[in-house]
Amino acid sequence: MSALDVLILVPVLPLAPILITWWLPWEKWIPWGKLPKAILGPYVLYLSFAAWHFGLSKWLVFLALTTGAVLSIIAILEEVRKRATSG
């Protein structure tokens, strides 16, 4: 594993505990409904890049890319609506 691979993999590591424990009924620490789309969208886009870099399935890369783009667009639209109604 090269230094570039490590640099790409390090931001993905915080996702590991969530992927390991998401199905456990007592794991209330995962804020499923409270994750801001403005942060989650670009993070999922980054995950799609990391998946592509490490040669994962094209379908997984496409799914992550689409999900990240949709979340980012939703976050942008919510921000535009918030600014239009407040100003």
pLDDT single digits (tens) 18-61: 777 767 776 676 666 677 889 899 999 999 999 999 999 999 99
Percentages helix, strand, coil for the chain (3-state, rounded to 5) are 70, 0, 30
Tokens of 21: 């424990």
65: pLDDT strictly greater than 80:
yes
Across 10-76, where does the E strand assignment appear? none
Report pLDDT for 34: 76
Alpha-carbon Rg for the chain, nearest whole angstrom, is 16
- Domains of the chain by residue range: 3-86
pTM: predicted TM-score of the whole model, two decimal places? 0.82
